[in-house]
Amino acid sequence: MKVEIKIDQSLDEEKIVIYAREISKEILALKESLENNQANVLTGFFDDKLEFIDPENIIRVYANEKKVYAVCSNKTYLLRLALYQVEQRLDPKKFVRISNSEIINLKKTKNFDLSYIGTISCQMVNGDVCYVSKRSLKKVKEILGI
């Protein structure tokens, strides 16, 4: 993706134009992020206290019974965001969505097990085992280069 900035003194307000061949999830996420103009800060509840979460410490984020949790090395936080909102705030080069209910941190993945036919499981550094859904299989294989 190329980024270009042009200065025009005649403008009354800033204007951002996105040129793309087609609309993709990344383009829509970029548009929404620019419109919302929110900082990509993640916060979560632990022991009834709201804490800032450093994305570098997140091992995985998952949804269970209509609640979203972020698992870090020493704590599991309850988030007040939907999974798609968390996905938008995380770096797509480090985090990948492996199913409708789970996002993993590639840097915190111990290994990927390809021994199951048609399925990939991944073991995280904390011992959790996650499974890549059939719908996400192609994208994960591209990321892994297989």
CA distance 21 to 47: 47
What secondary structure letter does DSSP report for 108?
Answer: G
User: What digits encode the pLDDT tens for the residues 33-89?
Assistant: 777 655 567 899 999 899 999 999 999 999 999 999 999 988 999 999 999 999 988
CA distance 59 to 104: 6
Q: Listing from the earlier edge strand, what are the strands of the sheet with 109-113?
A: 109-113, 120-124, 129-132
Stated pTM of the model: 0.69
The pair of three-digit structure tokens given for residue 11, joined into one six-digit string:
């403008």
CA distance 20 to 59: 33
**What pLDDT is stored for residue 36 in this prediction?**
66
